Amino acid sequence: MTIHQPALFEYINKTQPTTDGPDLSSDSTYMCQSSYESSLWAIGSCIEAADIMLQHFIDENAKPENYFVLCRPPGHHSESNTAQGFCLFNNIAVCASHLQERLKSINSTATHEIPNRVMIFDFDVHHGNGTEKIFYQSKDTLYISTHLFGDKRFYPYTGSIESTGKDEGEGFNVNIPLPCVNCGDEEFLMIIDEIVIPLAQEYSPSFLLISAGYDIMEGDSVGRMLVTPKGIHEMVSRLQHIPSIKNQVLCVLEGGYSHSILAEGVCATVQSLLHQPFMSFDSLKQKKMWLVKRADNDTGSGSDEFKEKEEEEMDEVIRINPSVKKRVKDAVSGAICKVKEIQGKYWKCFSAAHNEASSSSTPSSS
């Protein structure tokens, strides 16, 4: 499957500024002298990660591992023939397509065929309109996006709950539009437990790719959500338990508008991918200082054990007015129920919710 038309590469290369300083091209897409080269490195990094990910299907001695592609520019807004929303090329779509093409080749000589199914979960606060459009008619890629929607008042103004795919892809596009800001750890984990994991268990993908957007985190200047680093760690940890992916997850960096918040989110994700317990960014910096101090201590005196600062329990930290918190949770619960009703037409795991909604909307005969 060809993700981008050659004309888009030619356009980006030709449009790239030749002088220093950013240039606003179109639709919130900035470019500078290094944009085209950087975007090619981003795509190449995703392809290389995909190739490494495939090794355990080729070599039985290869150990399945997790991967994180730290790339810029991001990609999930880019469509086949357009660059938009800070995105020049769709990195994760290229990665998914490459995995599927390579797997076809592997299956042609394999004793046991490996299901050629990829699942993409996008937790960026913005809807991945580009990824959705690229795979909208494909049954081989299940795209799930949770994003702030606000009745089409939030960029890119797409991602309605009714957009479920087309033709062969009908039912393989799942939008979970968030009705409000201030969604935190509890709400996102609820979405993963009630929507994402049941779908993954039924779809049984061979690969899980995550569009990791950290504008859902508390303190981000754009997203206005309340997800904590500890929440990010738990989200990624739960997603790794999907049986069919055999402990392999590939994350691709998407949004994030605060450097410090972005760093904390990426750090928490990497800890989870390495199967390490969560440690806050501040604690990690303290540990680094302790290691340096210990290495510089010629006398060998002082403590030989690092004492990690105790983490605050999330339920002890009041981040939002309790009445507002309840309204947010109720709103997200309502959105989850609606997703189940609509997707129950296609997925057995939600069929009960779909049947219940259908029966309640059917007029009773007199």
What SS3 state is found at 165? coil
CA 30 to chain centre: 22
Q: Measured between alpha carbons, how far is 258 from 262 in angstroms, rounded to an integer? A: 6
Exposed/middle/buried for residue 327 (C-beta within 10 Å: 0-12, 13-18, 19+): middle
Question: What letter would DSSP give residue 152?
Answer: T
> How many contiguous H segments (helices) and E segments (strands) does the chain have?
12, 8
What SS3 state is found at 94? helix
Which sequence positions are flagged as catalytic? 77
Find all residues with CB under 8 Å of 18, minimum gap 6, and list them.
33
What SS3 state is found at 49? helix
Is 184 within 8 Å of 218 (Cβ atoms)?
A: yes
Bond before 322 cis per omega within 30 degrees: no
Sign of CA dihedral 8, 11, 15, 18: positive
